[in-house]
Amino acid sequence: MRRSFYKKLTASYLVVITVVFAAGMIYLHFGLSAQLMEQAEENLSRNARLARRQLVSSTSENPQSHRMDVLADEIGRALGVRVTVISASGRLLADSSLAPGASEKGESRADWPEVIEARKKGIGSSVRESLRGDGDLLYLALPINAGPFSGGVIRLAMSLREIEETIGKMRGLLLVAGAFAFLLAIAMSFGAGVIVRRGFDEIYDAVEKIARGDFSYRIASRRQDELGELARTMDRLASEVEAHLDELRNERDRLEAILEGMAEGVMVTNASGDILLMNSALREFFPSLPEFEDGAPIPLETVRSTEVQEAVRDMLSRSATRMEREVEVLPARTLTLHAKRARAEGESNLVLVFHDVSEVKRLAGIRREFTANVSHELRTPLTAIQWAAQTLEVTAQSDPEATRRFASTINRHARRLSALVEDLLELGRIESKDEHVRPEEVSIRNAMDSVAHTLAPVVEKRGVHLHAEIPEEADHVRADPAALERILINLAENGVNYSSEGSEITVSGHLREDGFVEVSVADQGEGIPPEHLSRIFERFYRVDSARSRENGGTGLGLSIVKHLVQEMGGDVWVDSAPGRGSTFRFTVPTP
């Protein structure tokens, strides 16, 4: 690996020289050749004009005073070129390269390309090999526009051998310079490699030791160049990494101590559901879990609980970030599972915390049983009180006004107690799961029609307006029809009771990206102070107890809403502030 540096350095020099050499050869072949040809053609054009002027002036006074062969020879020798004169009909009149009386004279030369071009454009040129073996010649022709040979053409030709020899010499010099540059590049790369080798060797040895985990090694270079600065940077990096590793070890030890000291079971899984981390409390809940071997994940199937496995797979298959669920494990133990999605190293992991709520469930069962027994015991006398109060209100004769007032009070409180009993019974059924919700595809609009009909007397009495704004894409949800209607009734009635006359209660909904429909019930009431928001869904919790009782509330409506929403797989919360009204929101899955 170390030797590759020399190779790369040498290769870089060679590449630069090759590029320069190739550029020189390309320029020599195309640029210089074209430049020399252009210069030769310009010189030949200038000479052709002089030759034409000389030809016209020599023959205009007495065409017979000069023979054309002699004149062409004189001009050719003076200019150092071959001179050819062609008549208007294309016949060859004179050629400085032919002997007098040569057989070619008198033949037509009108088809020469430079002659054709000269007659069309005023000047013509071409390059082609000489028929006499003189190599390539540059031909340039000009038309004769005056004198006795008007309409004819004078053509000059010169050999390109000098240009080719010049280019050949330049090519040879370039080849010699390229060879010298190649040798110089090899020598320079070797010298540069020797100079930096020692510094690179020190850095390489340090990197090797750091890669093996020895972060205590230091280069301690005394060089004052870039390699010395790099070595000192490596020393600082090794020191920082060593400090970070010590901090991570301490953090790991603290985390292990915390996990082992927790009464709750903790489990971390990867995106496939395999277990990456667990504590001893979790092993107490699931004794079948094996030990980790070589840091390899443990399959989820080793958890002998189908409910836990289903919860993990359900969480992994959904886009939700949190989940709460109760699971039953042996022997006769109830655990509350709290799952949260977390990202680590680009992978979506799950963190699951298991709380043992077996004792809490047992006490809750006793409480539910007590509530159910009390409610059943109170129902019969309450019914009798309500019937008696209604009778007294109708039939009382003495002091009818007072009797009616007392009877009305008895009737009102009896109805409130009856509602309380009904709420207690329903809450007990929900919590005990004796009555399971049966989700099916239902329409929120249809449910709201039923809610509006049920609450019509209360809405009219309070002088408020109740309306729904449910778009088509958010209308159909998967929910228990009776549970959904009860949720909407409780939330809408809550908004009606706490809104002033002329206010609006709006029920709206929209489809979320996670596949749930979010339903909102917004009122324009007094709002809820921030300190009450966290407890608003607790049983019997009232923000304003006096007003709640005045409105006939039992303190259980929002608790029932919470339990029903969670039973259907959704969530419920409230946004409110004093003076700005309240908006209760809950989510329901789509079909």
Residues 559-571 pLDDT 10s:
889 989 998 889 9
pLDDT single digits (tens) 200-238: 777 777 777 777 777 777 777 777 777 777 777 878 887
Are the CB atoms for 282 and 266 separated by under 8 Å?
A: yes
Mind spelling out the 3-state secondary structure of 520-576? EEECCCCCCCHHHHCCCCCCCCCCCHHHHHHCCCCCCHHHHHHHHHHHCCCCEEEEE
From residue 156, give the alpha-carbon distance in Å to each of 85, 129, 163, 349.
Answer: 9, 15, 17, 89
Show Cβ contacts of residue 56 under 8 Å, excluding neighbours closer than 6 positions.
144, 146, 147, 149
Residue 247 lies in a domain: no
pLDDT above 90 (res 9): no
Q: What is the pLDDT of residue 512?
A: 92
Q: Are residues 499 and 583 in the same domain?
A: yes
Q: Tokens for 588? A: 């329901």
Mean pLDDT on 407-415: 67
- Max distance between CA atoms of the chain, in angstroms, equals 168
Indicate the SS3 state at residue 11.
helix
- The span from the CA of 270 to the CA of 268, in Å, is 7
Q: Interior CA angle at 296 toward 293 and 299, to 5°?
A: 100
Q: What is the pLDDT of residue 452?
A: 92
> The domain spanning residue 398 has which CATH number?
1.10.287
Last residue of one domain, picked from the residues 292, 324, 349: 349
When mean pLDDT is compared over 342-346, 415-419, 498-502, the highest value belongs to 498-502
Q: What is the pLDDT of residue 100?
A: 62
Residue 182 lies in a domain: no
- The span from the CA of 308 to the CA of 334, in Å, is 12
- The span from the CA of 317 to the CA of 102, in Å, is 103
Residue 175 lies in a domain: no
Q: Are residues 556 and 497 in the same domain?
A: yes
pLDDT above 90 (res 477): yes
Last residue of one domain, picked from the residues 430, 459, 478: 430
Q: Are residues 461 and 376 in the same domain?
A: no
Q: Are residues 454 and 562 in the same domain?
A: yes
Q: What is the pLDDT of residue 1?
A: 44
Token match 């490699």: residue? 193
**% residues pLDDT > 70 (the chain):** 75
Total domain count, the chain: 4
Name beta bridge partners: 153: 86, 143
pLDDT single digits (tens) 437-449: 788 999 999 999 9
Among the listed ranges 127-136, 462-471, 485-494, which one has the minimum average pLDDT value? Answer: 127-136
From residue 327, give the alpha-carbon distance in Å to each of 61, 333, 341, 569.
Answer: 128, 9, 19, 15
Residue 215 lies in a domain: no
pLDDT single digits (tens) 69-112: 788 888 888 888 888 888 888 888 888 877 665 545 556 777 88
Tell me if the bond preceding 331 is cis, omega within 30° of 0.
Answer: yes
Burial class (CB in 10 A: 0-12, 13-18, 19+), 65: exposed
Token match 């400085």: residue? 96
pLDDT single digits (tens) 375-401: 654 665 566 666 666 666 666 666 666
**% residues pLDDT > 90 (the chain):** 14
Q: Are residues 448 and 583 in the same domain?
A: yes
Q: Tokens for 405? A: 């007032």
Q: Are residues 11 and 132 in the same domain?
A: yes
Q: What is the pLDDT of residue 65?
A: 41
Indicate the SS3 state at residue 469.
strand
Residue 203 lies in a domain: no
Indicate the SS3 state at residue 291.
coil
Give the dihedral sign, CA 282/288/294/299. Answer: negative
- The span from the CA of 341 to the CA of 363, in Å, is 31
- The span from the CA of 492 to the CA of 490, in Å, is 6
Among the listed ranges 146-150, 309-313, 405-409, which one has the minimum average pLDDT value? Answer: 405-409
Q: What is the pLDDT of residue 479?
A: 93
Average pLDDT for the chain: 79
Q: What is the pLDDT of residue 230?
A: 76
> The domain spanning residue 452 has which CATH number?
3.30.565.10
Q: Are residues 328 and 390 in the same domain?
A: no
Are the CB atoms for 488 and 448 separated by under 8 Å?
A: yes
- Long-range contacts, 218-223 (Cβ 8 Å, 24+): 223/199
pLDDT above 80 (res 576): yes
Q: Are residues 20 and 97 in the same domain?
A: yes
pLDDT band at 424 (very low <50, low <70, confident <90, very high): low
In single-letter form, the type of residue at position 243 comes to A
- The span from the CA of 209 to the CA of 269, in Å, is 34
> The domain spanning residue 8 has which CATH number?
3.30.450.20
> What residue numbers bound the domain in which 477 lies?
438-589
For 122, left (φ over 0), alpha (ψ -120 to 50), or beta?
A: left
pLDDT band at 7 (very low <50, low <70, confident <90, very high): low
When mean pLDDT is compared over 301-305, 410-414, 416-420, 568-572, the highest value belongs to 568-572
**In 309-367, at which residue ranges do the beta strands (DSSP E only) sit?**
322-329, 333-344, 347-356
Show Cβ contacts of residue 324 under 8 Å, excluding neighbours closer than 6 positions.
336, 337, 338, 339
In single-letter form, the type of residue at position 298 comes to I
Among the listed ranges 350-354, 534-538, 578-582, which one has the minimum average pLDDT value? Answer: 534-538
Name beta bridge partners: 583: 522, 575
Comparing C-alpha atoms, which of 469, 464, 455, 441 is closest to residue 568?
441
Comparing C-alpha atoms, which of 308, 359, 356, 311 is closest to residue 335?
356
Q: What is the pLDDT of residue 485?
A: 93
In single-letter form, the type of residue at position 244 comes to H
Q: Are strands 347-356 and 440-443 parallel, antiparallel or unpaired?
A: unpaired
Mind spelling out the 3-state secondary structure of 250-281? HHHHHHHHHHHHCCCEEEEECCCCCEEEECHH
Mean pLDDT on 151-162: 85
Rounded (10°) CA dihedral 480, 485, 488, 492: -170
Residue 253: phi and psi, rounded to 5, are: -65, -40
Residue 219 lies in a domain: no
- The span from the CA of 229 to the CA of 209, in Å, is 19
Question: DSSP assignment, residue 300?
Answer: G
Among the listed ranges 139-148, 399-408, 454-463, which one has the minimum average pLDDT value? Answer: 399-408
Q: Are strands 322-329 and 516-522 parallel, antiparallel or unpaired?
A: unpaired
In single-letter form, the type of residue at position 98 comes to L
- The span from the CA of 205 to the CA of 220, in Å, is 12
Mean pLDDT on 138-154: 85
Q: Between 541 and 88, whose confidence is greater?
A: 88
pLDDT band at 412 (very low <50, low <70, confident <90, very high): low
Residue 236 lies in a domain: no
Residue 82: phi and psi, rounded to 5, are: -90, 130
Question: DSSP assignment, residue 296?
Answer: B
Give the rounded distance of the alpha carbon of 575 from its chain centre.
Answer: 32
Q: What is the pLDDT of residue 507?
A: 94
H or E element: which one contains 140? strand 136-143
Name beta bridge partners: 128: 137
pLDDT above 90 (res 588): yes
Comparing C-alpha atoms, which of 480, 482, 417 is closest to residue 454?
482
pLDDT band at 52 (very low <50, low <70, confident <90, very high): confident
Q: Are residues 423 and 443 in the same domain?
A: no
pLDDT above 50 (res 305): yes
DSSP codes, 41-93: HHHHHHHHHHHHHHHHHHHHS-TTSS-HHHHHHHHHHHHTSEEEEE-TTSBEE
- The span from the CA of 355 to the CA of 510, in Å, is 35
Last residue of one domain, picked from the residues 430, 459, 475: 430
Q: Are residues 323 and 470 in the same domain?
A: no
Residue 81: phi and psi, rounded to 5, are: -135, 170
Q: Are residues 94 and 149 in the same domain?
A: yes
Q: Are residues 158 and 296 in the same domain?
A: no
Q: How many residues does the chain have?
A: 591
Token match 């020598």: residue? 187
Q: What is the pLDDT of residue 276?
A: 87
Mean pLDDT on 302-308: 87
pLDDT above 60 (res 470): yes
pTM of the full structure? 0.39
Residue 257 lies in a domain: no
